[in-house]
Structure 1
């Protein structure tokens, strides 16, 4: 008879889960609630099982000791983070896709004529290079009854002149009270005073370009008079700092893809879709009923969601790529933006629309805010604790986890494997271990600080604008962001080395605690290494992440023509493959949706030619529309581990070659 050792027995459930991973894709329908509920129910069951085991079997002996206080404090933080995960599992057990509904009710207004929509572009300090994309894209919308308004909180005369040339409305106000929400509210007051106020308002950030079908698709969902707001996902035409700095622009999704592609449809199925500010359309009468956008929080969009739902208006989600924007290009801006989101959510939690408010708020809306609080506060605190607590073991012999390796595999390993199974089946290509941890770790310190400050002191915080544009042509090391991770890396490496080489360090083996913390520490070192690399910002050049090679016709200097591959296209340059011409050679390109464009050669490679485009005003705007307003889906939608490792390896090799 075959007997398994405890270690072998602990691996069996994980092997069974791996087997399920091979079988389930052929029978699973990710849109069916009962199937999603079974998978996420398994996550909840195994998560509770793991939490109970941690509390019963892995803490240091009870007593007034440093060991017990340390292991208990880590356990409490971990359990709070687990509660947040359980809440997310419940949310993700449903999903909803409204594309068929939008198809069915397109043009629901019929012979009455399309409702009037005011497209509001809120701006503060963005450059023309950023703003013109959005303004030109808004003018190109395929919707018959629209008016474009540029709301300038920077009070810039040059922008007023540009708007006049573009034939769009320019609005400025005497102060900046209420930040973005105050800017929009000032415009709403003016719109309400017009002889024919709009029926709906669309809100765009200054760096978000609407696709041509944005209004036609979102307006279809307002066939239901109870719908107060329609939100669409935010896609990006450039790589975010983590993608760019790690060399993963073509293989790893941007950090917000999971939320917009999977969490928002799940929230919509519960009636909890969140307004995310830009890329949304609201019913004008519903917003007026509230007295405008709430100004109680620096995340006025989430608070608008709560306010609309409290008045009985639905907020719904259309999961179609209908806008594309400029992701934060610098790591500092990336972290600042997320800390602002966290601060705003904590302000809402303490506001009149918070989860313990006496207002008439649905129970599910209270849960929605609580879920967000658990996401922002304990989860990011736990991420930091996971890197600090092993050091207490290596340097001070403090018991962090008192556990046997087979038990860790049986309880934690099984839970983790089931979560990965569920995630890869229902949200494929979204989570890659190590890299996902890095994306969460980089902002953990300011986010955790913002969470605590926001809860303790919700009022009196200024609105931090996310800087966009500017010179990104040099390597920049974000020392301030890197410093704590570099210090943690050094301490972790030193502690690991001392613990391995000297018995006087980490000699207290709590169960198999040393083995457990050893694996934990090695994992931390790898994550911290990638985090440090991500803090080195590489030079950027304009690149549209939706670029795909296409054939185009080139008129040559000798009067002939040649079909070549157009491999890259920006607002100023084109890269052609299969053609070699001397520098300064004049030529003419036939660009789809733009027309014939003159240019001249400015660079020659082994099999490529870089062309400087010479554009008139009409061609320039047509090119902007082609690059940014076409109805496509920019960016990477899902990852492949092999491609991620290949691209990251290439990033490391390039760095080594440059240093050499």
Structure 2
């Protein structure tokens, strides 16, 4: 009680924030601009109130001591992260949903003929099953005047044969200059020479399958002649490494959901949505106006939005799940992908389309670029600094943050609570503190390196392809990523016992700030522990999307009967109920949209029967279309808080190797 009384005054601002949030926010709509603006302004004001306290009360006197240099350096880095979050909050004050606009303008070209759309599938080294489903999905698009082109930068004869078998056009070039952008530009030369060049071009990565209504919905927004590009979100039917290795696939969304479901709609409301490469549709005339895909960055997608804007063409965002693809399955590929995104942004910032260069970008475009730059350049280095700072205190006696507990409660806590409520109310609960820090920490080293390299030497970098597919059936420990985390974990844990174990005593003037450092240290240990668990890649089951249980007719030698189809891939199925089956029996399963598929029973259990499917070629294609082109979002899109903690506890109980 005495402790609570000592800190009650300091706790008052946090209690006010909590009370207002819990009472008012449940009554408000998430798309209400007044509520969003009020919430974001309050969070930003509390953030800068905290930062003002940091500079005036918690940093050492400005001189040439280690304490001062490290303390001020850390505080300045923290301030830049707050500048980044302030701009981000400004953007989040608005949001836009174009679903009604797409409804109202569907088929705007009528009574004239439907526009010709060329679908370009850029590929380099992907495996056949990945490309087969993408091509099958593209050929199943509902739009009547669609041509599908597979752009092979790997010059593979088997892919040419696959295209001929499925009915897609195949293009290859003699070199790999400018990677994906160069591959697409080479295809443009072919399209330009056709008797009927396209009016629109859709771009798909090799692992992204379009839903049947992808073109119908995206084309509706081109009713406005100023629209040059329509971007749609990326959804994933497999789990990313964080979901997979922590066992959170059912309860925690993929790491990109906040960006695609909330940041992009907010940027769209300000006219700042940008191309993300795959799952986009572009106006052919706009592409011709800018000379095709720009090649000045390894992230040509953002750059194409800026070039289109210079020529008077807008990029808009349709927040509907119209494609689904593969998230990086390995942690190394996950980190490499984000490092490439960061490097590409740094190249743009340093190039002729940068925010401070002489170009025709609007002020808002420049602010949007600064926002993206600050996100990459401050968030990840700050995450690394947060790990090192307590070590400086425990091992060298450097007081980086001289903060009393009461001050932390009075200034940091209300800011933290307000930001947490703001981002989670806007996003519907997508930001979970420890897991969010883990996702940043895993890529922090690679991304911080990309920031430095991209700023210092923006030219001459090769495009690093994100590998997809491969054998994912074994436990794989990512030692290059885990090892430095383990070293920091041991050092952090050892720091708690350094002085008692060595009798080294530092002349610290930190008051009760040692308790702040202690709490900080314990939090770092938790984040490091979870991050190390993610580095142990667990075997993956089939990445086939989930299906809703449905009734099917089962034909057997003993007679016909109904059963429940519970799981379906192109290779196997799981049935519940129906006629009696025994291992080795042959049968046929009548699947809607596919037909009667021959099958063999491989296993029978009280809960159901496993069948190996033996589809013919048309049936296999139909299965791919059936599995990957249905309407709706693939994967988990919302956080289930109760289930999240249950899954984390289950993962912890299975041990370090997940057994």
TM-score relative to the length of structure 2: 0.97
Residues 221-248 of structure 1 show CA distances to partners (whole Å, capped at 9, x for unaligned) of 0000000000000000100111101111
1:439 matched to which residue of 2? 439
SS of alignment partner, residue 554 of structure 1: strand
Query: In structure 1, what is the Cα distance between the partners aligned to 2:159 and 2:628?
Result: 21
Which shifted more, 330-339 or 53-62? 53-62
Structure 1 gaps of 5+ residues are: none
1:137 matched to which residue of 2? 137
2:109 matched to which residue of 1? 109
**Cα 1:652–1:602, aligned 2, differ >3 Å: closer, same or farther?**
farther
**Cα 1:550–1:657, aligned 2, differ >3 Å: closer, same or farther?**
farther
SS of alignment partner, residue 654 of structure 2: helix
- What is the CA distance between 1:522 and its match in structure 2? 0.5
Query: In structure 2, what is the Cα distance between the partners aligned to 1:87 and 1:45?
Result: 12
- What is the CA distance between 1:581 and its match in structure 2? 3.6
2:407 matched to which residue of 1? 407
1:569 matched to which residue of 2? 568
- Asked whether the equivalents of residues 543 and 570 of structure 1 are also in contact (C-alpha less than 8 Å), the reply is no
SS of alignment partner, residue 433 of structure 2: coil
Query: In structure 1, what is the Cα distance between the partners aligned to 2:482 and 2:654?
Result: 21
1:531 matched to which residue of 2? 531
Residues 52-81 of structure 1 show CA distances to partners (whole Å, capped at 9, x for unaligned) of 110000002332211111111110111111
- What is the CA distance between 1:551 and its match in structure 2? 3.6
- What is the CA distance between 1:311 and its match in structure 2? 1.0
**Cα 1:656–1:191, aligned 2, differ >3 Å: closer, same or farther?**
closer
2:221 matched to which residue of 1? 221
Query: In structure 2, what is the Cα distance between the partners aligned to 1:227 and 1:493?
Result: 55
Query: In structure 2, what is the Cα distance between the partners aligned to 1:95 and 1:617?
Result: 45
2:641 matched to which residue of 1? 641
**Cα 1:657–1:230, aligned 2, differ >3 Å: closer, same or farther?**
closer
2:481 matched to which residue of 1? 481
- What is the CA distance between 1:164 and its match in structure 2? 1.4
**Cα 1:22–1:113, aligned 2, differ >3 Å: closer, same or farther?**
same
2:124 matched to which residue of 1? 124
Residues 487-510 of structure 1 show CA distances to partners (whole Å, capped at 9, x for unaligned) of 111101111233577774567351
Which shifted more, 168-177 or 319-328? 168-177
2:277 matched to which residue of 1? 277
**Cα 1:220–1:60, aligned 2, differ >3 Å: closer, same or farther?**
same
Query: In structure 2, what is the Cα distance between the partners aligned to 1:607 and 1:505?
Result: 65
Across the two proteins, how many residue pairs are aligned to each other?
657
1:428 matched to which residue of 2? 428
Query: In structure 1, what is the Cα distance between the partners aligned to 2:570 and 2:21?
Result: 45
SS of alignment partner, residue 142 of structure 2: coil
Query: In structure 1, what is the Cα distance between the partners aligned to 2:415 and 2:108?
Result: 48
Residues 623-658 of structure 1 show CA distances to partners (whole Å, capped at 9, x for unaligned) of 111111111111111102221111122222233797
- What is the CA distance between 1:111 and its match in structure 2? 1.2
SS of alignment partner, residue 297 of structure 2: coil
SS of alignment partner, residue 236 of structure 1: coil
SS of alignment partner, residue 106 of structure 1: coil
1:163 matched to which residue of 2? 163
Query: In structure 2, what is the Cα distance between the partners aligned to 1:506 and 1:383?
Result: 26
Residues 85-127 of structure 1 show CA distances to partners (whole Å, capped at 9, x for unaligned) of 1111111111000000000000000111111111000001111
Query: In structure 1, what is the Cα distance between the partners aligned to 2:590 and 2:24?
Result: 48
Give the 5 Å matches for 1:479-518.
479-498=479-498, 504=504, 508=508, 510-518=510-518
Query: In structure 2, what is the Cα distance between the partners aligned to 1:26 and 1:606?
Result: 45
Query: In structure 2, what is the Cα distance between the partners aligned to 1:486 and 1:57?
Result: 34
Give the 5 Å matches for 1:223-622.
223-498=223-498, 504=504, 508=508, 510-564=510-564, 566-578=565-577, 581-622=581-622
- Asked whether the equivalents of residues 553 and 560 of structure 2 are also in contact (C-alpha less than 8 Å), the reply is no
1:653 matched to which residue of 2? 653
- Asked whether the equivalents of residues 149 and 170 of structure 2 are also in contact (C-alpha less than 8 Å), the reply is yes
SS of alignment partner, residue 559 of structure 2: coil
- Asked whether the equivalents of residues 394 and 506 of structure 1 are also in contact (C-alpha less than 8 Å), the reply is no
**Cα 1:547–1:249, aligned 2, differ >3 Å: closer, same or farther?**
farther
The CA RMSD measured in Å over matched residues stands at 1.8
Query: In structure 2, what is the Cα distance between the partners aligned to 1:574 and 1:247?
Result: 23
Query: In structure 1, what is the Cα distance between the partners aligned to 2:331 and 2:650?
Result: 21
**Cα 1:658–1:142, aligned 2, differ >3 Å: closer, same or farther?**
closer
**Cα 1:294–1:510, aligned 2, differ >3 Å: closer, same or farther?**
same
- What is the CA distance between 1:345 and its match in structure 2? 0.3
Residues 257-303 of structure 1 show CA distances to partners (whole Å, capped at 9, x for unaligned) of 00000000000001010100000000001011111100000000000
**Cα 1:9–1:501, aligned 2, differ >3 Å: closer, same or farther?**
farther
- What is the CA distance between 1:217 and its match in structure 2? 0.2
**Cα 1:486–1:657, aligned 2, differ >3 Å: closer, same or farther?**
closer
- Asked whether the equivalents of residues 602 and 612 of structure 1 are also in contact (C-alpha less than 8 Å), the reply is yes
Query: In structure 2, what is the Cα distance between the partners aligned to 1:348 and 1:658?
Result: 41
- Asked whether the equivalents of residues 43 and 415 of structure 1 are also in contact (C-alpha less than 8 Å), the reply is yes
Query: In structure 2, what is the Cα distance between the partners aligned to 1:414 and 1:503?
Result: 38
Query: In structure 2, what is the Cα distance between the partners aligned to 1:399 and 1:41?
Result: 32
- Asked whether the equivalents of residues 213 and 322 of structure 1 are also in contact (C-alpha less than 8 Å), the reply is yes
